[in-house]
A and B are shown apart, each in its own frame.
Chain A
Amino acid sequence: ILNVEQSPQSLHVQEGDSTNFTCSFPSSNFYALHWYRWETAKSPEALFVMTLNGDEKKKGRISATLNTKEGYSYLYIKGSQPEDSATYLCAFSSTGNMLTFGGGTRLMVKP
Chain B
Amino acid sequence: EAQVTQNPRYLITVTGKKLTVTCSQNMNHEYMSWYRQDPGLGLRQIYYSMNVEVTDKGDVPEGYKVSRKEKRNFPLILESPSPNQTSLYFCASSLGVTNEKLFFGSGTQLSVL
Residues of A bordering B, CB below 8 Å? 1, 31-32, 34, 36, 43-46, 49, 51, 89, 91, 93, 95-104
Q: What residues of A have a CB within 8 angstroms of the CB of B97 in the complex?
A: 93, 96-97
Bound complex: CA A8 to CA B107 (Å)? 25
Q: Is the CB of A99 within 8 A of B98?
A: yes
Q: Is the CB of B59 within 8 A of A31?
A: no
B101 within 8 A of A: yes
Q: Is the CB of A104 within 8 A of B48?
A: no
Knowing A101-B44, A102-B42, the reply to whether A45 touches B104 (Cβ < 8 A) is: yes
Q: Is the CB of B104 within 8 A of A96?
A: no
Q: Is the CB of A1 within 8 A of B59?
A: yes
Bitwise, B80-113 to A at CB < 8 A (1) or not (0) is: 0000000000100000011111111111000000
Chain B contact-residue range equals 20 to 34
Bound complex: CA A51 to CA B97 (Å)? 12
Bound complex: CA A49 to CA B48 (Å)? 19
Bound complex: CA A110 to CA B103 (Å)? 29
**Could you say which of A1, A34, A97 contacts B48, with CB atoms under 8 Å apart?**
A97
Q: What residues of B have a CB within 8 angstroms of the CB of A101 in the complex?
A: 35, 42-45
A-B contacts, CB under 8 A, total: 63
Bound complex: CA A90 to CA B50 (Å)? 21
- Lowest 10 CB-CB distances: which A-B pairs, in order? A46-B101, A93-B98, A43-B104, A101-B43, A103-B42, A32-B99, A96-B97, A101-B42, A49-B101, A44-B104
Residues of B bordering A, CB below 8 Å? 33, 35, 40-45, 48, 50, 56, 58-59, 90, 97-107
Query: Can you list 21 A-B contacts with CB-CB less than 8 angstroms, sorted by A residue number?
Result: A1-B59, A32-B99, A36-B102, A43-B104, A44-B90, A49-B99, A51-B99, A91-B102, A93-B97, A93-B99, A96-B98, A97-B48, A97-B50, A98-B45, A98-B58, A99-B45, A100-B45, A100-B59, A101-B43, A102-B42, A103-B41
**Could you say which of A45, A96, A104 contacts B99, with CB atoms under 8 Å apart?**
A96
Q: What residues of A have a CB within 8 angstroms of the CB of B41 in the complex?
A: 103
Q: What residues of A have a CB within 8 angstroms of the CB of B101 in the complex?
A: 34, 46, 49
